[in-house]
Amino acid sequence: MSKETLRLFGNNARNSSIYGESYQEKKVRLMLLKFDVFGKTMLVERKQNCWLLFVDSGRGMRTRVFDVVIPPELAQADLAVYLDDIFHEHSSERHPNVTSIDK
């Protein structure tokens, strides 16, 4: 078990189930992905089997985007393509596509 896992979950990370959630479910629940969507930084969070979309201010604040619904069955690997399809009208020569931003 990694030190980061223990930092996030404490000794409870060693248990197979905490409050009805397995360690893997907690890990997925805390998933936060960052994308450059045609020049705008956006975050996608996986929470309770749903994808939530946010605009990142770059100052530690984020605003939820309620107008875009990401299908819950969409795989993580397909998020960039989906965001590209939804926001393609914001494409420009300077920002021609959606890219994942590694943390």
Residue with tokens 């393509």: 81
Which helix (H) or strand (E) covers residue 47, if one does? strand 40-47
Residue with tokens 């990142």: 56
The span from the CA of 66 to the CA of 54, in Å, is 9
* Structure confidence by residue, pLDDT tens digits, 23-79: 555 554 568 999 999 999 999 999 999 999 999 998 989 999 999 999 999 999 999
Q: CB neighbours (10 Å) of residue 69?
A: 12
**What residues have CB less than 8 Å from 3, skipping those under 6 apart?**
none
Average pLDDT of the segment spanning 73-93: 96
* Residue 52: per-residue pLDDT: 97
